[in-house]
Amino acid sequence: MAGVFLTLEGLDGAGKSTQARLLAAFLEGRGIGVRLTREPGGGLPEVREVLLHGKALSPEAEYLLFSADRSEHVRKVILPALQEGLWVISDRYLDSSLAYQGYGRGLPLPWLLEVAKGATLGLKPHRTFLLDLPPEEALKRVKDPDRLEGLGLAFFGRVREGYLRLAEAEPERFVVLDATRPTEALQAEIQRHLLPLLP
């Protein structure tokens, strides 16, 4: 594949969407073609509403819906863009499910990874930027909580711990950033870490 696949991860309120937009503008300013996307809803937009604002789901059903969306996202958005030579920036990807449904909801990671293998065709990001934020700060920043954001401090604590464990297991892919820092400082650090990948 000619393109580069980047993801932004972290608790709700960490600033992923803002950093994704700033990063897209930076790359476009250097003449690099970019596809900016997000999960959930990148593959099946109608699923986003069900997952974030619909009625309560079992953790298993929740994960399978995320996976169905991700499967379409990979096949119809991410892979075609990478094959075109674009840089794909996704606000959330598989690591979100491992952190939220795995560590947060308590679903077994081996099962999550087995399902993910088929859903993602084994596609992994070249770099994942984890915007790390204390759960208390994340909850303060969330103004209008969706179904997952309403699960409270203990849940967010487990999710953050999950993210940090995932990052520890793959240090060559993850870049952990302190999301309490100013927006501009975070963006500068993200850009610095991407310099070796730039054409």
The strand pairing partners of 7, in sequence order, are 90, 128
Q: What is the pLDDT of residue 144?
A: 64
Kind plus residue range of the DSSP H or E element containing 190: helix 183-194
The total of other beta-carbon atoms located within 10 Å of residue 75's CB is 15
| 94-125: pLDDT as tens digits | 999 999 999 999 999 999 999 999 999 999 99
Cβ contacts of 87 within 8 Å, gap of 6 or more: 3, 4, 5, 6, 27, 32, 33, 34, 35
Q: What is the pLDDT of residue 46?
A: 92
Domains and CATH numbers, the chain: 4-197 (3.40.50.300)
Q: What is the pTM of this model?
A: 0.94
Report the mean per-residue pLDDT for the chain: 93
Question: Do 103 and 159 form a contact (C-beta atoms < 8 A)?
Answer: yes
Structure tokens at 77: 């958005």
Torsion, CA 184, CA 6, CA 95, CA 140, rounded to 10: 20
Residue ranges for the binding site?
Answer: 10-17
Q: What is the pLDDT of residue 131?
A: 98
The residue ranking higher by pLDDT, 84 or 54, is 84
Q: What is the DSSP string of 64-119?
A: HHHHHHHHHHIIIIIHHHHHTTPEEEEES-HHHHIIIIIIIT---HHHHHHHHHHH
| 140-194: pLDDT as tens digits | 877 665 556 567 789 999 999 999 999 999 999 999 999 999 999 999 999 999 9
Residue ranges for the binding site for ATP?
Answer: 10-17
